[in-house]
Structure 1
Amino acid sequence: MYLEYYGLSEPPFTITPNPKFLFYSVKHREAFNHLLYGIKERKGFVQLTGEVGAGKTTLCRALLEQLPDTFSTALILNPVLSADQLVRAIAMEFGLDVRRCDRLETVAVINDFLLRQMAEGRETVLIIDEGQDLTNDLLEQVRLLSNLETDDRKLLQIVLMGQPELRDRLNDHGLRQLRQRITVRYHLKPLTKPELAQYVQHRLHVSGGNGVPYFTRPALWRIFNYSKGIPRLVNAVCDKALLAGYVQQSDRIDWHLVGRALRELEGNIDA
């Protein structure tokens, strides 16, 4: 609705994980480099955690876009499955036909696929999102998949992503074998106040903004105070604030327009 008024080519603050809009704060760049290092150096297991809406999935999609064609990847977004279903879902993500296979047969198919990948000089990566929802049994199944290896290298690189609860889960004594295999870890923290201002400007620029609309410093402070630097919350507030600015026919998004956006988002917030 407000795109034409502001001269924007596309919505700047959608909450979908579009890597086109990824803003590389210092922490996001560090997280990306940890992921890339763990995968390219064949570390076996990489762990990425962060609060809800911190940008983990967007980072993941950016990583998938930047991996060379010599990498085959599988992405599991909803791991709340049985062990059989999880193994089958992983195989299917790699394009393997396991419709008539039980779990052991499916693992054998995956192992053959990984060996073929290695023979062809290709790397294989499995990324599991929402890892905090995995039961101990499922996490153990993931660990068993990491056992697929030759004498000198891992056949499968696994990235476990999740909320901070994933770190707590992995401290469980029963998961110590898995925890010891994770050699690359990174916890993605929220944006700082200066980074939030850069983040907002970055997304407006990617959407075709050329100085319009403009978020004032008090407006950005209010957004930070509400969102605590979580990108998804920043997007939600900014989107509503742009709509409020359009209704007011204002190119300048100020403290009061952000307050109006907050009231619409929260209903009873003291804004």
Structure 2
Amino acid sequence: MYESHYGFTEKPFQLSPDPRFFFASNHHQRALSYLQYGLDQGEGFIVITGPIGTGKTTIARNLLSQLGDESIVAAQLVTTKLDPHELLALIVSEFNIKAKGDKKADLIQAIEQFLVELNRQGKRALLIVDEAQNLPAETVEELRMLSNFQRDNKPLIQSFLLGQEELKPIIQAPNMEQFRQRIIASAHLKPLSVEEVKEYINHRVHQAGCERDDLFSENAFELIHEKTLGVPRKINIFVDRLLLFGFLEELDVIDSEAILSVAEEMEVELTGSLNNKALDSTEPSQPMVVNSTENVEHIKEVLRDVEEILESSIKEKVKMARYVDKLLKHKSKQYAMENIENSED
């Protein structure tokens, strides 16, 4: 929508991970270095953890895009809560391994034969497990058992685990000592600092074809950091909306006023709730007494919140209508110019 207005050749803040837009902050570069070190070692486990949206999957995609070593056969799993049998079945599927049956013994035998054949070809397997915090402890242990497949004292498969912070207590449990001893490196991703937010935004803007360094006012980056907490995924969502807002308002520069306006519109999306309070409660639910003063006030507050949401939705629809109108005028002008050029020919 806003690409041509600001001189982009593509959307700079799309949510899907794209190695071309990888930004190497200090923490991300360290994590990537650990992954590359692990590749060089060819054994053990590398564990990368971090909060939601800090770029763990992007790092994995960047690593896979840089693999110029044809001796490494890689597969990436994005897991849910898999039991050991389901994990083995998914590994068989992702590596395109043919198994005689679907029993656990059949899957393990097929995986071992596949790994041995890779070794004969001078190759080895790399397994990247994303969202690994969803794996039960017994499934993580199954990964460790797979690392026991060796030939000439060299492991036939290597695993990288990428997960949210909940992965830490799973690995730190007393019964995971053997697994911990196989970890050769680990790193924890953190949100970006204010300076890194500025570098991150400018990097993606330039990568998308816009050469401007003044698209955002100087004080904009600190405010964007405040609203997104430096989380890359939230930055992508927020700045994408900022650019759309700037296009609809015909802004040449995104300033603090625009940021505050969009932040107010996106409060629910950025905080995850209307009032930024926890939604879960350990207290047992109580029946509501409608005629109590306290509950009447609560209902009024809820209705006010609903009214605000509806008003915000209407504003968004109005802006979209303005955008469509502007787009139609632009297309009409282009069509008229083409007709003039054709008539002159």
Cα distance in 2 for partners of 1:213, 1:88 equals 51
| AA in 2 matched with 1:254 | D
Q: Secondary structure at the match of 1:28?
A: helix
What residue in structure 1 maps to residue 64 of structure 2?
64
Question: In structure 2, do the counterparts of structure 1 residues 212 and 99 end up closer, same or farther at CA, with 3 Å as the change threshold?
Answer: farther
In structure 1, how many angstroms separate the alpha carbons of the residues matched to 2:275 and 2:256? 15
Partner in structure 2 of residue 180 of structure 1:
181
Superposition pairs of residues 217-236 of structure 1, within 5 angstroms? 217-236=218-237
Instruction: Return the alpha-carbon distance in structure 1 between the equivalents of residues 72 and 113 of structure 2.
Output: 16
The alpha-carbon deviation at position 33 of structure 1 amounts to 0.9
Who is 1:38 aligned against?
Answer: 38
User: Higher Cα Rg: structure 1 or 2?
Assistant: 2
| Distance across 2 between alignment mates of 1:269 and 1:251 | 32
Within 1, Cα distance between the matches of 2:214 and 2:3?
10
Which secondary structure state, in structure 2, belongs to the residue aligned with residue 215 of structure 1?
coil
Instruction: Report the alpha carbon displacement of residue 97 of structure 1 after superposing the two structures with TM.
Output: 2.0
TM-score (norm 1): 0.95
Residue 114 of structure 2 corresponds to 113
Structure with bigger RCO (C-alpha 8 Å, 6+ apart) = 1
Question: Superposed, which structure 2 residues align to 1:186-205 within 5 Å?
Answer: 186-205=187-206
2-structure distance, mates of 1:249, 1:101: 59
What does residue 52 of structure 1 align with?
52
**Counterparts of residues 1-271 of structure 1 (less than 5 Å):** 1-67=1-67, 68-98=69-99, 100-211=101-212, 214-267=215-268
> Secondary structure at 2:43's aligned position in 1?
coil
Instruction: Give the equivalent residue in structure 1 for 2:301.
Output: none
- Determine the C-alpha separation between the residues in 1 that align with 2:214 and 2:138: 50
Q: Supply the distance in 2 between the matched residues of 1:82 and 1:263 (Cα, whole angstroms).
A: 43
Instruction: State whether residues 224 and 259 of structure 2, in contact with CA within 8 Å, keep that contact through their aligned partners in structure 1.
Output: yes
Q: Decide whether aligned partners of structure 1 residues 96 and 45 sit closer, same or farther in structure 2, where only a CA change above 3 A counts.
A: same
Q: Work out whether residues 47 and 187 of structure 2, in 8 Å CA contact, stay in contact via their aligned partners in 1.
A: yes
Distance 1:75 1:12 in 2: 25
Aligned-partner Cα distance in 2 for 1:109–1:81: 19
- Give the drift of 1:195: 1.0
* CA RMSD between the two structures: 1.6
- Please state whether the residue corresponding to 2:151 is helix, strand or coil: coil
CA apart distance, 1:252? 0.3
Q: Residues of 2 paired with 1:251 and 1:179: CA distance? A: 53
Counterpart CA distance in 2 for 1:197 and 1:123 is 40
Corresponding letter in the other structure for 2:58: T
Give the superposition deviation at 1:98: 2.7
Cα deviation digits, residues 69-122 of structure 1 (max 9, x gap): 221011111242232121011011111123723111111111111111111111
Residue 269 of structure 1 and its aligned partner are, at CA, apart by: 7.5
| TM-score normalised by L of structure 2 | 0.75
| C-alpha distance in structure 1 between counterparts of 2:5 and 2:88, whole Å | 49
Aligned residues of 1:79 and 1:129 also touching (Cα < 8 A):
no
Once structures 1 and 2 are overlaid, which stretch shifts more, 201-210 or 38-47? 38-47
**What amino acid sits opposite 2:22 in the alignment?**
L
- C-alpha distance in structure 2 between counterparts of 1:219 and 1:99, whole Å: 60
CA distance in 2, matches of 1:103, 1:4: 54
- Identity across matched positions, percent: 34
Q: Which moved more, 1:74-83 or 1:11-20?
A: 74-83
CA–CA separation in structure 2 for the residues paired with 1:143 and 1:43: 11
How far did 1:212 drift?
6.7
- Aligned-residue offset at 1:259: 1.4
Equivalent AA in structure 2 for residue 101 of structure 1: D
Give the Cα–Cα distance (whole angstroms) in 1 for the partners of residues 161 and 39 of structure 2: 12
Which is worse superposed, 99-108 or 155-164? 99-108
Aligned length: 270
Aligned-partner Cα distance in 1 for 2:145–2:111:
12
Corresponding letter in the other structure for 1:231 = P
Deviation at 1:238, TM superposition (A): 0.4
